[in-house]
A and B are shown apart, each in its own frame.
Chain A
Amino acid sequence: MAAEAKAPSLAEEYSLPPQEAPVEKAVEDKPQEAESIAVTNDETPQADETATAVEVNPETSEVQEVADKSEVEDTNPAAEETTETAEEEAEEKPEIKIETAPADFRFPTTNQTRHCFTRYVEYHRCVAAKGEDAPECDKFAKYYRSLCPGEWVERWNEQRENGTFPGPL
């Protein structure tokens, strides 16, 4: 995210970020994500590409120009926000969000098998508790999709259908 793009110093690189940050963000992003999807549907692929440029690297002057251009071309509220608000704001807008499951302090080892499994179980427990389309479960879905090999997810989905899933659902 913003910090990554700016190549943080060694100290920043290894300092631990506040743990709740990614969770909050995931929830906040929702409306913006919907907005950006709407934008891509409206625009031509060309405009789409400039939109991607804006979000990812707002520091370079070249990109700034592009941002201005896109503002002129399509006066949509999203582009206006980019120039007005802070950089982080601009980065979160896009269709391609550079975001993934955060480091989990329960699984600090190289072996991440249980990390993936736990996230999968967490998602399905969340869905069982809060209903099929509860927005607060989406982040768990995102996490386990990032962490689990597709094949495993398929196999577990099958097992859940057959009632042979080995986890605490």
Chain B
Amino acid sequence: MILRSLECRFLTIALCDAAEPWQLGSQDAATPMMQGIIDLHHDIFFFLILILVFVSRMLVRALWHFNEQTNPIPQRIVHGTTIEIIRTIFPSVILLFIAIPSFALLYSMDGVLVDPAITIKAIGHQWYRTYEYSDYNSSDEQSLTFDSYTIPEDDPELGQSRLLEVDNRVVVPAKTHLRMIVTPADVPHSWAVPSSGVKCDAVPGRSNLTSISVQREGVYYGQCSEICGTNHAFTPIVVEAVTLKDYADWVSNQLILQTN
């Protein structure tokens, strides 16, 4: 199992866009946002390792040298100005180095001020999702909307991921700014796609915005991330990113299908 996971990590050319058994790292980035998150993780990990090594060295050294056998009479120093200053300034500097990229990423992820090209509404229900593409409406009647149900556990076809696949995927164009409006119709849900670096809670009576721009075509899997009832585990999300041209074709086909 672990081997298979490692194999997927290092040996395959295909990118990981779905959760897999024994996965340790993040899924591969599909948006600049996720790339930023992964990079920040690595940045912080540098400091983490640095601190880990330094602290363990101090700890082990202290235990090694200052015990009853080797050092029976303890020293009685209780105060040292120099070390006080060093151990206050140094951690603050480290925190600063972590905080700068962290805040930079946080505010760039807001992205609300970028003009989007498409608005898609993800509406959480117990226990399925409705997607509304309302940019093409000419009246209050929804012209392009569909429900996205999970494929039951005993029903997947060969090659489909168990409990991750849905019957109707959200089709989005790649390399385009998307505005996802996330809201539920009953209880809190959450719309999360790890490869896109998006996890947006759906709160009843409120509509939340999250902007994504998928950089490569592919199929991305996510799961409901806010406990929403009995079938919480069976409410996956599948995003299919296609080229802008294919997206337009898909929309026009869906419009013809749904209006007839």
**Cross-chain contact B117 with A112 (CB below 8 angstroms):** no
Contact across chains for B119 and A100 when beta carbons are under 8 A apart: yes
What residues of chain A lie closer than 8 Å to B121, measured between beta carbons?
Answer: 149-150
Contact among B183, B200, B208, B243 for A57, CB-based, below 8 A:
B243
Contacts across chains A and B counted by CB atoms under 8 Å: 130
How many interface residues does B have (CB within 8 Å)?
47
A14 to B113, CA, bound (A): 8
B interface, by DSSP: helix, strand, loop or mixed?
mixed
Q: Give the complex CA separation of A95 and B135 in angstroms.
A: 12
Q: Is the CB of B248 within 8 A of A52?
A: yes
Residues of A within 8 Å of B152, CB to CB, are none
Contact residue among A49, A56, A110 (Cβ-Cβ distance under 8 Å from B209): A110
**Contacts of A96 on B, CB cut-off 8 Å?**
136, 248, 251-252, 255
Assuming the contacts A1-B117, A56-B248, A57-B245, asked whether A100 and B140 have C-beta atoms less than 8 A apart, the reply is: no
Please give me the residue from chain B that is nearest to A15 by CB atom: B114
With A98-B248, A99-B135, A110-B209 already in contact, the answer to whether A153 and B140 are too (CB < 8 A) is yes
What's the tally of chain A residues with a CB closer than 8 Å to chain B? 50
Question: B40 interface residue, CB < 8 Å from A?
Answer: no
Contact B134 A146 (CB under 8 A): yes
When chains A and B are docked, how far (Å) is the Cα of A125 from the Cα of B179?
A: 26
Out of B116, B200, B206, B244, name the residue touching A103 (CB < 8 Å).
B116
CB-CB under 8 A for A154 and B140, given A5-B244, A56-B245, A149-B132: yes
14 new A-B pairs (CB below 8 Å) besides A14-B108, A116-B207, A149-B181?
A4-B175, A5-B175, A52-B249, A53-B248, A53-B249, A96-B255, A99-B135, A100-B119, A100-B135, A107-B112, A110-B110, A110-B200, A113-B205, A116-B181
Contact A99-B205, Cβ < 8 Å, known A146-B134, A150-B145:
no
State A44–B235 Cα separation when bound (angstroms).
39
On chain A, the residues within 8 Å of B251 by CB distance are 96
**Neighbouring A residues of B249 by C-beta, 8 Å:** 49, 52-53
Whether B252 lies near A49 (C-beta < 8 A) is: yes
Residues 120-153 of chain A: 1 if any B CB is under 8 Å from the residue's CB, otherwise 0?
0000000000000000000000100111111101
- 10 closest A-B pairs by CB: A146-B119, A100-B119, A112-B209, A4-B117, A96-B248, A56-B248, A145-B134, A57-B245, A4-B176, A56-B245
- Chain A residues near B181 (CB-CB < 8 A): 112, 116, 147, 149
Interface centre among A57, A105, A142, A150 (most CB of B within 10 A): A150
Are the C-beta atoms of B206 and A113 separated by less than 8 Å? yes
